[in-house]
Amino acid sequence: MRRWLCLLVLVTTAALARTPAFAPMPALAQTLAPAPTPAPAQAPADRAAALDRLLDALKAAPSAEAAAPLEQQIMQRLVQAGSPVVTLLMSRGAREMQADSAQQAIEDFSDAITLDPNLAEAYHQRAVARFAAGDTQGAIADIEQTLEHQPRDFAALRTLAVIAESRKDWKGAYAAWQKLLEIDPKTPGGEDKLKDLHRRAFGEET
């Protein structure tokens, strides 16, 4: 894969790899076994409220250092929001992406979506896999689904910006990055990146 695509895959799968429920499992059959629950079960309304609190804290974080653990907690909640079977399918897809097996990853993320069509992060991870496989339009469609289910998914907005940059759609990349910074203002290098995309989209400021 191209260097920028490799970086995207690493960024979007890093949070999955840090999650206890996403430990490698060698056999396909094992992905259908119940996974240990990393945290006490919560009602959907309670999970949504907890996620909203973390996202509010992320927006108010005073520094990148303060924002980093919040980003990790948010990503963990997003990827663990499904059932144990769905979580294991997500785990397998993440490992396949790291192994540069995008088509197999697409299948696993699609299976996760079939089982839980409201799981925003499944669409996001499939978007990354589709982009890696060369299906840019499919990737964009999946990002749109992600943001429909979770409008504050900052990682999905980062992916959208990368896709737009790859197409030299500088205005699209700028718009995506602008929305990202509204959610996660302390993204490392975020303001410099926004200025660079603004320059590419609209020319030098006078």
Give tens-digit pLDDT for 149-179. Answer: 999 999 999 999 999 999 999 999 999 999 9
DSSP letter at 37 equals P
- Which range in 4-18, 39-53, 75-89, 107-121 is most confidently predicted, on average pLDDT? 107-121
Q: Which segment, 15-19, 23-27, 145-149, is predicted with the most confidence on average?
A: 145-149
| The total number of structural domains that make up the chain | 1
The answer to whether position 25 is within a domain reads no
Residue 33 lies in a domain: no
Residue 40 in any domain: the answer is no
Q: Has residue 27 been placed in a domain?
A: no
If you average pLDDT over every residue of the chain, what do you get?
83
Domain of residue 12, CATH code? 1.25.40.10
Confidence of residue 128 (pLDDT cuts 50, 70, 90): very high
Res 27 pLDDT > 80: no
- The per-residue pLDDT for 191 is 96
What is the pTM (predicted TM-score) of this model? 0.80
- In-domain check, residue 35: no
Q: What is the pLDDT of residues 42-96, one digit of tens each?
A: 677 888 899 999 999 999 999 999 999 999 999 999 988 888 999 999 999 999 9
Does 187 map to a domain?
Answer: yes
In a domain, 100, yes or no: yes
Q: In this prediction, what percent of the chain has a pLDDT beyond 90? A: 70
Q: Which of 16-30, 78-92, 102-116 has the lowest mean pLDDT?
A: 16-30
Domain span at residue 197?
3-20+52-202
Residue 151 inside a domain? The answer is yes
The contacts found for 3-12 with CB under 8 angstroms, 24 or more apart, are 4/162, 4/165, 4/166, 5/131, 5/132, 5/166, 8/128, 8/131, 8/159, 8/162, 9/97, 9/98, 9/128, 9/132, 10/98, 11/155, 11/158, 12/97, 12/124, 12/125, 12/128, 12/155, 12/159
For 13-42, b where at least 16 C-beta lie within 10 A, e where not — what string? bebbeebebbeebeeeeebeeebeeeeeee
